[in-house]
Amino acid sequence: MAIQHWRIRDRYYRLIGSKCTECGAEFFPPVYKCKRCGSEKIEDSEMPRTGKIMTHTELHEPMPGFEDQAPFHLAVIELTNGARVLSQIVDSPGDTVKTGAKVRAVVRRVRVDGESGQILYGYKFIVD
């Protein structure tokens, strides 16, 4: 996982997604082909860092490697450009994590890689 993580660190740190140079549609995670117009003329694009919660959950039984963070909130976030991100919601009182809440991206420690002990960082969101 660590090498995979290093390879896409820009996307994890800075929310680098894709922009279609034909029709302007933006996507996160990145795409190989525009989901709107079908063009393959795609370039990297930094996503806006604000959006709102479409749906959310409080996860009690997380993935291995995330046990010490549980329970934690996860949400589908619609960014202001229409792209959608699946992310943890952190540093926000539980009752503020609700559908429609405005959120903002931050960089946080994601987890410590089991084999290498390397600390992995990436995007999480907080309720604004």
Partner 1 sequence: MARNRAYITSVGLTKIGDHWESSLLDLAVEAARKALKGAPKLKPQQIFVGNMFSSMAASQEHLGALVANALGLEGIPAFKVEAACSSGGSAFNVAYSLVKAGAIDSALVVGVEKMRDMEGDSVSKALCMAESAEWTQFVGATFAALNALLARYYMEQMNVTRDELSSIPVIDHANGVNAEHAQFRKAITPDVVARSAMIADPLRLFDCAPTGDGAAAVLLVNDKAASGPKRNLVEVLAGRVTTAVFSLYQRKDMLRFTATEEAFKQAMKDAGLSPAKLDFAEVHDAFSVTGALSLEAMGFSKRGMGSKDAAHGKYNLNSDLSINTFGGLKARGHPVGGTGVYEISEAFLQLTDQAGKNQVKDADYGVTQNVGGVDTTSAVHVFGRAA
Instruction: Out of 87, 101, 103, 127, point to the residue binding partner 1 (CB under 8 A).
Output: 87
Q: Give the binding range for partner 1 (CB under 8 A) out of 18-26, 41-49, 65-73.
A: 65-73
Within 8-67, which residues bind Zn ion (CB under 5 A)? 20, 22-23, 25, 34, 36-37, 39
Instruction: Out of 48, 52, 72, 118, point to the residue binding partner 1 (CB under 8 A).
Output: 72
Q: Tell whether residue 117 is a contact of partner 1 (CB under 8 A).
A: no
Q: Give the binding range for partner 1 (CB under 8 A) out of 18-26, 39-47, 86-94.
A: 86-94
Find out whether 121 and 109 touch, Cβ atoms under 8 Å: yes
Listed in sequence order, the residues at least 6 apart from 48 whose beta carbon sits closer than 8 Å to its beta carbon are: 79, 80, 81
**Size of interface with Zn ion, in residues (CB under 5 A):** 8
Instruction: Out of 10, 44, 58, 91, point to the residue binding partner 1 (CB under 8 A).
Output: 58
